[in-house]
Amino acid sequence: MAFHIPDVYRHPTVRTSMLAIFAFGFSGATTSPYQSVVGIRELGLSDGAYSAIMASAAAVNVLVSLLVGNFADRLGEYRRMMLIVCLFGIVGFGAIYLVPRQAVFVGAALLVLPVYGALNSLLFANVRAVTRDMPSETIAEVNSGVRAMISLSWVLVPGLTGVLLAQSPTMLPAYLFAALAVVACLGLIALAMPKVEPGEALVINHLSYWAALAHVLSPRIAVRVFAVALVTGMLHVNGVVQPLIVVGPARGQVSDIGVLVGIVALLEVAFILVLGRIVRRYGAMPVLAAGTGLYVLYLVLLGLSSAPWHLYALTLISGAGAAALISIPITYLQDLIADRPGLGSALISVNMFLSAGLGALLFALGTAVGTYSIASIIGGVAGALGILLLILLDGFRPRSAA
């Protein structure tokens, strides 16, 4: 069978978007692992203040992503808005590095960088706009390839940053690396991203700006977004409980945490690229259901783990399941508002926010009634309920909710 995917990836917009989203992932991967160290240990924020800032920043990112995505839809193209939000990233990361003060950190993290975070959904919206006439399986395949670039950045960058700054008395240079990554991203979009000619711009005028935003809250869309958040919330539950189980019931070492994360991230990249072919053959929903089942199994077995080798043995299941959970929902969410790529792609940010919140609630529930192991199992049960709800709503061939 002919391998057609390189033809799709040679499309200049798709190719440039993949490189740009790698740079976007680079900026997050070089700072996120060390953000709490900078904010709390180096700049003196309290644990409570830091947590409140991060939670508020996530909410701001959701709001900005919806507003910016909807506005880009009205423009009919996404390049201009991507250039603007890149400037916010350069200013935000650069300010923290150049003026390391509490007030600057808080202002950048709470108001400036969340605007830059909207670049993620804008890049996916831009890809969706140029692939909108392709078969749905091809769109899912392309989205998987684009999403794999973020995972690839997380395989390479955090460890490299740690090595480069191992002898440094401060982790602030990580923000310089991030600012430079955004400069590279800005250059890619400005110089290599094809401009949309006036006659090629999308025409989306059947709803007013505010009516389009209100469309996001319609029951048909909201219930599906909630179901997807239950599924992807398993990733957040794992992010919290896995390190605690490693150094607790599994009797592992702190060093095992980083090794496990690196192994799973590498496996995610490999599985995401393979998933594109599988989705074309079997459809997105059956593959998402299978991936969810694998991740539910993983969380249950994680909760039962009692030795380090158990955790390493589970990386294959974890990587395969996570690949489906982080790539396939992108296309599903976009399809909920298929005729508005910016607003539909902004649902990715909504899902990230909701799934993080649900993950925190599930962890709190699990630890309230039992142990970290119970929290892991409860997270798996919630994910199973989420995929069952999606299948109940849409069957194995999801339809657009718009």
Which DSSP string do the residues of 60-123 spell out, in sequence order? HHHHHHHHHHHHHHHHT-SHHHHHHHHHHHHHHHHHHHHS--HHHHHHIIIIIHHHHHTHHHHH
Kindly report the pTM of this predicted structure: 0.83
Q: Count Cα neighbours of 291 within 13 Å in the Cβ-side half-sphere.
A: 30
Q: Which of 98 and 214 is assigned the larger pLDDT?
A: 98
Of the chain, the percentage scoring pLDDT greater than 70 comes to 92
- In the 8-state DSSP scheme, what is residue 196? P
CATH code, 207-402: 1.20.1250.20
Q: What distance in Å separates the CA atoms of residue 126 and residue 195, rounded to the nearest whole number? A: 11
pLDDT band with cut points at 50, 70 and 90 for residue 400 = very low
Nearest CA to 175 among 279, 42, 266? 42
Q: Do 93 and 364 meet the contact criterion of CB atoms below 8 Å apart?
A: no
The string of pLDDT tens digits covering residues 355-372 is: 988 988 898 898 888 888
Task: Match 């958040």 to its residue by tokens.
Answer: 229
- What are the distances in angstroms from CA 230 to CA 140, 224, 248, 250, 352? 20, 10, 26, 26, 11
pLDDT score of 402 more than 50:
no
For all residues of the chain together, what is the average pLDDT? 87
With residue 187 as reference, give the H or E element that holds it.
helix 173-192
- In the 8-state DSSP scheme, what is residue 199? G
Check residue 282 and give its pLDDT: 86
List where CATH 1.20.1250.20 sits in the chain.
1-205, 207-402
Give me the architecture of the 1-205 domain, per CATH: Up-down Bundle (1.20)
- Mean pLDDT check: name the lowest of 19-28, 91-100, 272-281: 272-281
Q: Which of 227 and 134 is assigned the larger pLDDT?
A: 227
